[in-house]
Amino acid sequence: MPNPRGGSVRLAEMALTDALHAFHRQGETGAALKRAIAALHSAGWLPAQRFAEALALVAPLGDESDGNRARIADSIAMFGAAVERHNLRELSCSTVLFDHYRGLHALLAAHTRVAPVSYDDLALAGRAIAPATLRGIAPERLARVRARYEEALLRLLRGPAGESAEACERLDACLAELRGPDPYDFWRLASSAVHALREHAQRDGARADDIDFDAGSAYDADAKRLYARFNLVLADQAHALSYAPRSLVRATLALLWRDFALYGAAPENAEHVDVLRDYGLTVAWHVAASPASEAAWEEGAAQASEEASRDAGTRDLGVLRVNAAAYEDFLQSAETSIDALVERGTQASETGTVDEAAALAAANASHRLGAAACALGLGHVASLADTLGLAWRRVAYHGEARDGGEVDLQGSTQGSTQGATRGLDATVPERAAQMLRSMLHQAAAGIAPSEGRGSIVALTAMIERPLTIAR
What's the sign of the alpha-carbon dihedral 167, 173, 178, 181?
positive
Residue scoring higher pLDDT (36 or 266): 36
Q: Which of the given ranges, 87-101, 336-350, 390-404, has the highest pLDDT on average?
A: 87-101
pLDDT at 227 over 90: yes
pLDDT for residue 357: 84
pLDDT for residue 180: 92
pLDDT for residue 423: 42
pLDDT for residue 287: 60
DSSP character string of 334-402: HHHHHHHHHHHHHHHHHHSEEEHHHHHHHHHHHHHHHHHHHHHT-HHHHHHHHHHHHHHHHHHHHSEEP
Mean local confidence (pLDDT), 277-306:
72
Question: For residue 305, what pLDDT band results from cuts at 50, 70 and 90?
Answer: low
pLDDT at 411 over 50: no
pLDDT at 63 over 80: no
pLDDT for residue 210: 45
Residue scoring higher pLDDT (155 or 416): 155
pLDDT for residue 410: 52
Rounded to whole angstroms, the Cα distance separating 362 from 419 reads: 22
pLDDT at 469 over 70: no
Please report, to the nearest 10 degrees, the dihedral formed by the alpha carbons of residues 442, 363, 43, 375 taken in order.
Answer: -100
Mean local confidence (pLDDT), 311-329:
90
Mean local confidence (pLDDT), 94-122:
91
Question: For residue 26, what pLDDT band results from cuts at 50, 70 and 90?
Answer: confident
Buried/exposed 452-469: b ≥16 CB within 10 Å, e otherwise: beebbebbbebbeeebbb
Residue scoring higher pLDDT (247 or 163): 247
pLDDT for residue 401: 40
Under DSSP, the state recorded for 133 is: B
pLDDT for residue 218: 81
pLDDT for residue 302: 65
pLDDT at 417 over 70: no
Residue scoring higher pLDDT (287 or 8): 8
Among 160-174, 264-278, 407-421, name the one with the lowest average pLDDT.
407-421
Domain limits, the chain: 8-123, 139-278, 313-463
Question: For residue 225, what pLDDT band results from cuts at 50, 70 and 90?
Answer: very high
pLDDT at 209 over 70: no
Residue scoring higher pLDDT (29 or 307): 29
pLDDT at 404 over 50: no
Q: Is 264 left (phi over 0), alpha (psi -120 to 50) or beta?
A: left
pLDDT at 397 over 70: yes
Cα 107–chain centre separation: 26
Residue type at position 170:
R
Portion of the chain with pLDDT greater than 70, in percent: 83
Portion of the chain with pLDDT greater than 90, in percent: 62
Mean local confidence (pLDDT), 176-184:
94
Mean local confidence (pLDDT), 193-201:
92
pLDDT, one tens digit per residue, over 420-463 is 334 456 678 889 999 999 999 999 999 999 999 999 999 999 99
Among 146-150, 193-197, 248-252, 394-398, name the one with the lowest average pLDDT.
394-398
8 A C-beta contact, residue 136 and residue 416: no
pLDDT for residue 422: 42
pLDDT for residue 11: 97
Question: For residue 414, what pLDDT band results from cuts at 50, 70 and 90?
Answer: very low
Please identify, in words, the CATH class of the domain defined by 313-463.
Answer: mainly alpha
Residue 129 main-chain phi, psi, to 5 deg = -125, 120
Q: Give the mean pLDDT of the chain.
A: 86
